[in-house]
Structure 1
Amino acid sequence: MTPTDLVRLAREWRDQDPDPRTRAELDDLLEREDLAALADRFGAKLEFGTAGLRGELGAGPNRMNRVTVMRAAAGLARVLGPGKHVVIGYDGRHNSDVFATDTAAVLTGAGLRASVMGARWPTPVLAFAVRHLGADAGVMVTASHNPPRDNGYKVYWGDGAQIVPPVDQEISQAIDAVGRVDELPLGEGWTTLGHGDIVEPYLEAVTSLPIGDARDLSVAYTPMHGVGGSTLSEAFLRAGFPAPAVVEAQALPDPDFPTVAFPNPEEPGAMDLALGLAASIGADLVVANDPDADRCAAGTPLPGGGYRMLTGDEVGGLLAEHVLRHTTGDDRLVATSIVSSSLLGRIAEAYGVRHAETLTGFKWIMKSGPGLVFGYEEALGYSVGSDAGLPVHDKDGIGAALAVAGLAAAAKRDGLTLLDLLDEQARRYGLHATGQLSFRVEDLSLISEAMERLRAHPPVELAGRSVESAEDLSEGAGGLPPTEGLRYRLAGDARIVVRPSGTEPKLKCYLEVVVAVEGGDVAAARAKGARDLEALRKDLAVALGL
């Protein structure tokens, strides 16, 4: 793109932009003739995919801003058509409330009905509200656990689940056909949803989940500067648990996330304050949500003192058995993604229920089939159901926290901890040790180059294990829809999946080894599993060349 084209595009964007801050940003870049910055903003665009939109705040089509959001809303309106009903939610990030209002104005101007959440409530409340209100679609303005500079735009369909192809492509094409946003008709008169309209019914639904009957439990909790705090605390009290102790410095929504480098419970250091609070009160359980509260992290006391955070796969295995013990029926289904532990399949076999493996993302887990009572993915996402089904057709950090608390309270009553329950599972099913190797990059071409290196020179051995099969997931391996990724199955019951992140500039590698527990010695199996994972990490890093 020539400098003349960049300047022309920037001026055209500025002239239609209703936001004085991003207009001023472009005026400054134009005045300084900063062509590199203009190229970064106008040389590409945020792609509307199955996660909707997500990116850095700023001016231009390659940023999240009011023009980008209004174009997305206009595209959604064209696909849905006049008269359809859309529920809109927003979290506590910068401009989330503004983007929600802009969406409502564009939708109503196009002849649709819009209902906007009256406060900053969690993403699972929005997902629940779509079905509860019988809406045709939903929009959640959130960037989940991304850095503070980001925001996003997540679209749900009438089934309460995130959109999947081909709907995402239809919306993307409709967005591309939208003209200037200052020429869009803007409406008024949308409905503002109160606590009683959607939060009350949501709380009634999640507190009716199979939590169990034990309630004696002390919990240390952090909403991680997000919007989950009040809803989770209310859910715990309604379910009969003592009020959780909340990390004061992280209790209220703050879009700058001042106490964490990344607002993600999985990131190093993110749980330090919660673990410190747990130690100070002697908590039986540590719970964290990410900023939009669709994910749930859990930690448990160690026998010698201190605490350990459980992995997403560990929590997923525990919750799966908990749900299956508290539900009935011969046609139950449990589902997880291809990057999550294979343990769920063995649990399903033991309980005589169906098991499905899907692509990464809850949008796919929700499409896994009828009878779904539990779904999870290793990135701390869980949807807990009952005999009545799943109240939320997406991952739900509030409902999952209630189920984990019920599980931990029952274990405490029996003189056990979550670690004891994990050991029992290891003895029954084998120790499923999982881990990750990830690379955050500034230049996305490094990820595509690494994937091409693996395709051109597939490994034949990793950590002394022969590679027994190599599947290119872009070709739709195993009957799954095509997706960018590679899967290797290794000798000795091990597996590796390599894929680019769908929401962050990362290449992610998911590792699993299954270790038999000899003579009931789980500690020895865990030690072996840790050594095996580390060996796989080292060899895979060399193969990737990153």
Structure 2
Amino acid sequence: MPDPQDWIAADPDPRTRAELRALTPEQLTERFSHTLHFGTAGLRGPVRAGPSGMNVAVVVRTTSALGHWLIDAGHAGATVVVGRDARHGSAEFAEACAEVLAAQGFDVVRLPGTSPTPLIAFACRDLGAQAAVAVTASHNPPADNGYKVYVAGGAQLIPPGDTEIERLIATAAPADTVPRRAVSADDPRSAANTERYLARLTTRFGRASASPVRIALTPMHGVGGAHALTALRRAGFADVHVVADQFAPDPDFPTVRFPNPEEPGASDRLLALAADIDADLAIALDPDADRCAVGARVDGTWRMLTGDETGALLGRYLLGSTDLDTPVVAGTIVSGSLLRAVAGAAGARYVTTLTGFKWLVRAGEPLLYAYEEAIGHCVDPVAVRDKDGISASVVAALLTHHRVRAGSDLAAALRELFVDHGVHVTTQHSIRVSDLDRITDIMSGLRANPPATLAGIAVTADDFVSRDDELRTNAVALSGAAADSAVSVRVMARPSGTEPKLKYYLEVVAGPDESGPGGSGVAATSARLHALAAEVIADLPR
């Protein structure tokens, strides 16, 4: 652990030096009790001074380590892309990152202003860069920021690269001794790259001619609004209405408790707008626009679809329009099973990976589509090897266009999936903790003494720690089927990789025969399964 006084003396930012000097001895000890862990493709934490926060000194030392890692791998002088979102500190962090890499001899393409994260991933792949850094904390609370690393090909960093970089961070020079060289943000490659990204969307997915589809859209105070509007309009969607007080980037996210479309209440303004304008589709992007949530009018009421529902809808649409021979579609160990059924019916190969797009985009070839239940969708892996909320928005709009042109809608498309493959209900339950030992205790209990039943259904446990394949991870699955019906239940328990909480992922499924003739029983079956899911949650260990 670095010495506090040495760190303060070497901090190149006078604001964070002053912040540390103003702390009490107890506060200073807390700031230096740990360092940000370099995992999940990079760093993420609160914007504050010291090694346990996101600040210029941490970014400088991290970037120095990243550069040395690239040089050690034989990539001295290679192209590296740097971009950022609009969070507190992002401009300063991106500037420091670009300057350190430039001083190390890299050809740095610094994207001007703010950029959606998928555009940075695209630039890494499009420009043949050996790495890219996105300064973003995605959908984290306003106090946070982060540092996300992509490698050659535009996919997120994976082990052992992350641990190798973390070791180099631990031995990095004091921040004020790391060389830096100014980098212009006025690089012609940046504008050309953005244009190629937007042009690729219509090349890949086509264009809706004179579409009647009306769309409600929110970028949730993030950086994806302008790009999403341009992409949708180029794809033929001119009737797009935005949530006005959420459109401009704002690092304080004033209208939402958490800037995450999955959070209860976060999409209320969007759904109200959709109802007011009689929309056909509602779209919520998260603040860095790498995730996309879809809303629709279901049984007369506007609601956000789950990530699993959207995943199955987009997956079926893409499978129905591809000429790939045995395409690959992918989900994770916590994804629902509906897309697997859709893929099987379409003759595609379904692959299960660990959570996170760093694994999903490496599921196999030819990869057509990958998604995770946390509203992440990779709809064009040839161009963007990560989740991309903007391209997913275009695909959702095109799917809606074809349904509306046929006198149908998204709700009918979802109902058809349930008729064909059974009604699937997925939900989550999280336990947020202040003491991480509590998560350890719950996971230990699930392994040593798992529940025999959930909501009266006998279940068995599958400990993923004991696996000897690529799915080995800290998770426990509980699954079983009702003896007197075609209803099954599955629960996956795993600690969150980015927040101090334990997450339970639930899926309850009723067979296709439960949907009734022509889908007449889907609504009633869905209500019954939601009630069953609530009973399952009540039985879960806490």
**TM-score (norm. length: structure 2):** 0.94
Q: Deviations over 1:214-255 (max 9, x none)?
A: 622111110000000000001011111114111111111000
CA contact (8 A) 2:216 2:243 kept: yes
Partner of 2:431: 439
Partner of 1:24: 18
Does structure 1 residue 516 correspond to structure 2 residue 506?
no
CA contact (8 A) 2:327 2:349 kept: yes
CA contact (8 A) 1:321 1:347 kept: yes
CA contact (8 A) 2:125 2:383 kept: no
Query: Tell me, which stretches of 5 or more residues in structure 2 are unaligned?
Result: 483-487
Between the aligned partners of 1:125 and 1:137, the Cα distance in structure 2 is: 14
Structure 1 residues 527, 175: CA separation in 2 closer, same or farther (over 3 Å shift)? same
Does structure 1 residue 240 correspond to structure 2 residue 231?
no
Task: Give the secondary-structure state (helix, strand or coil) at the position aligned to 1:421.
Answer: helix
Task: Give the secondary-structure state (helix, strand or coil) at the position aligned to 2:534.
Answer: helix
Partner of 2:497: 502
Q: Which amino acid aligns with 1:410?
A: H
Does structure 1 residue 366 correspond to structure 2 residue 370?
no
Partner of 2:277: 281
Partner of 2:338: 343
Q: Deviations over 1:352-402 (max 9, x none)?
A: 1111000000110011011000010000000113xxx53210000000000
Structure 1 position 71, deviation (Å): 1.2
Structure 1 residues 481, 193: CA separation in 2 closer, same or farther (over 3 Å shift)? farther
Query: Tell me, which stretches of 5 or more residues in structure 1 are unaligned?
Result: none
Task: Give the secondary-structure state (helix, strand or coil) at the position aligned to 2:203.
Answer: coil
Q: Percent identity?
A: 47
Partner of 1:424: 416
CA contact (8 A) 1:515 1:528 kept: no
Between the aligned partners of 2:40 and 2:471, the Cα distance in structure 1 is: 13
Task: Give the secondary-structure state (helix, strand or coil) at the position aligned to 2:279.
Answer: coil
Task: Give the secondary-structure state (helix, strand or coil) at the position aligned to 2:459.
Answer: strand
Task: Give the secondary-structure state (helix, strand or coil) at the position aligned to 2:369.
Answer: strand
Q: Which amino acid aligns with 1:258?
A: P
Q: Which amino acid aligns with 1:534?
A: A
Between the aligned partners of 1:230 and 1:256, the Cα distance in structure 2 is: 19
Partner of 1:533: 533
Task: Give the secondary-structure state (helix, strand or coil) at the position aligned to 1:75.
Answer: helix
Q: Deviations over 1:20-45 (max 9, x none)?
A: 2211211111xx33x1x223211111
Between the aligned partners of 1:48 and 1:481, the Cα distance in structure 2 is: 21
Partner of 2:485: none
Partner of 1:471: 462
Partner of 2:323: 328
Between the aligned partners of 1:96 and 1:189, the Cα distance in structure 2 is: 16
Partner of 2:82: 88
Q: Deviations over 1:408-439 (max 9, x none)?
A: 11111122121111111001011111111112
Q: Deviations over 1:272-312 (max 9, x none)?
A: 111122222111111110000000011112443x4111000
Between the aligned partners of 2:433 and 2:205, the Cα distance in structure 1 is: 42
CA contact (8 A) 2:326 2:347 kept: no
**TM-score (norm. length: structure 1):** 0.93
Structure 1 position 211, deviation (Å): 5.5
Between the aligned partners of 2:203 and 2:529, the Cα distance in structure 1 is: 38
Partner of 2:57: 67
Equivalent of 2:306 in 305, 311, 318: 311
Structure 1 position 189, deviation (Å): 4.1
The 5 A counterparts of 1:35-184 are 35=26, 37-81=27-71, 82-184=76-178
Q: Which amino acid aligns with 2:481?
A: A
Between the aligned partners of 1:249 and 1:426, the Cα distance in structure 2 is: 36
Task: Give the secondary-structure state (helix, strand or coil) at the position aligned to 2:172.
Answer: coil
CA contact (8 A) 1:127 1:392 kept: yes
Between the aligned partners of 2:184 and 2:63, the Cα distance in structure 1 is: 14
Q: Deviations over 1:115-144 (max 9, x none)?
A: 111120100000000011000001000000
Structure 1 position 205, deviation (Å): 1.2
Structure 1 position 171, deviation (Å): 1.0
Between the aligned partners of 1:77 and 1:333, the Cα distance in structure 2 is: 34
CA contact (8 A) 2:376 2:389 kept: yes
CA contact (8 A) 2:208 2:237 kept: no
Between the aligned partners of 1:393 and 1:157, the Cα distance in structure 2 is: 10
Between the aligned partners of 1:196 and 1:189, the Cα distance in structure 2 is: 16
Task: Give the secondary-structure state (helix, strand or coil) at the position aligned to 2:538.
Answer: helix
Q: Which amino acid aligns with 2:406?
A: D
Q: Deviations over 1:152-191 (max 9, x none)?
A: 0000010101011111111111111202111112123456
Equivalent of 1:354 in 327, 349, 356: 349
CA contact (8 A) 1:362 1:394 kept: yes
Q: Which amino acid aligns with 1:24?
A: A
CA contact (8 A) 1:211 1:402 kept: no
Structure 1 position 446, deviation (Å): 2.2
Partner of 1:394: 386
Partner of 1:270: 266
Task: Give the secondary-structure state (helix, strand or coil) at the position aligned to 2:38.
Answer: coil
The 5 A counterparts of 1:378-389 are 378-385=373-380
CA contact (8 A) 1:288 1:298 kept: yes
Equivalent of 1:375 in 364, 370, 378: 370
Structure 1 residues 83, 438: CA separation in 2 closer, same or farther (over 3 Å shift)? same
Q: Which amino acid aligns with 1:528?
A: R
Partner of 1:409: 401
CA contact (8 A) 1:137 1:158 kept: yes
Indicate the larger mover: 43-52 or 456-465: 456-465
CA contact (8 A) 2:328 2:366 kept: yes
Structure 1 position 17, deviation (Å): 1.1
Task: Give the secondary-structure state (helix, strand or coil) at the position aligned to 1:38.
Answer: helix
Task: Give the secondary-structure state (helix, strand or coil) at the position aligned to 1:291.
Answer: coil
Q: Deviations over 1:308-366 (max 9, x none)?
A: 11000000000000000110122311001110111111111101111100000011001
Between the aligned partners of 2:423 and 2:225, the Cα distance in structure 1 is: 34
Between the aligned partners of 2:407 and 2:303, the Cα distance in structure 1 is: 18
Between the aligned partners of 2:48 and 2:437, the Cα distance in structure 1 is: 22
